[in-house]
Amino acid sequence: MTQVVVVTGAASGIGAAVARHFAGLGARVVVADIDEAGGAAVAEEVGGLFVRCDTTGEQDNQALIDTAVQTYGGLDLVHLNAGIGDGGGFGEDDYDTRRRHRVLAVNLHGVMFGLHAALPALAAHGGGSLLVTSSMAGLGAAPFDPVYAATKYGVIGLVRSLAPAWQEKGVRINALCPGFVRTPILSPEAVAYLLGEGYALAEPAEIAASAAGIAAGEETGQAYVLQAGRAPEPVAFPRLDLARTRA
């Protein structure tokens, strides 16, 4: 049966690679992005459908899912991948309220809106898989961009908190936590610096292949570290047992 796949932030980088990967598997792919020219080009390349979507708007997220369902009859996989960096720091010289709110709107609020729209649609089609792109910055520390890190921590919290209830409806939700990836979010100067310091950069196609494997699995509520040349590594979160008083 042909899969129907929706990918946000799919005009370039990881999102475009995911769109290409699933199209190569024979899926019908809906390419969503605020970048109309880039998104339309990827959609044409993969024989898919382009939908302009500003993920910071709740109505745009709902319209994206509705369009996919109306066009193809249902959904099997939604990858909420859209994200941006550079939320500014917390010093006197680099604290920027506008930038901070923009990163929160795209990386956290946009994911909330996407989840709210996609989860019922996946359940109504008999279940499926939902992926959210977080980051290794959501597992460690990113002093160079603390606002970005905060949003990526938040994404993992959403995934882990929503997964148990939606599993009962046949929907699996997992987070992807890539390390450094050669995408437009890294400037040429940043790429040169990272390579000079000996860091490995994954290619978007490598991340896309890992994403497909995770989407096809049975796990839910997990966060997977994705790094160049390595298989996906599930994060071992601590088990927290809340204390109860007894009469």
Determine which helix (DSSP H) or strand (DSSP E) holds 22, and give its type and residue range: helix 13-24
Phi, psi of 134 (to 5 degrees): -100, -130
Name residues whose C-beta falls within 8 Å of residue 83's C-beta, 6 or more positions apart in sequence.
9, 106, 107, 133, 135, 151, 185
Q: Three-state secondary structure along 172-208?
A: EEEEEEECCECCCCCCHHHHHHHHHCCCCCECHHHHH
What gap in Å lies between CA 247 and CA 244, rounded to an integer?
A: 10
Catalytic residues: 135, 148, 152
What gap in Å lies between CA 168 and CA 69, rounded to an integer?
A: 22
Instruction: Write the DSSP symbol of residue 239.
Output: P
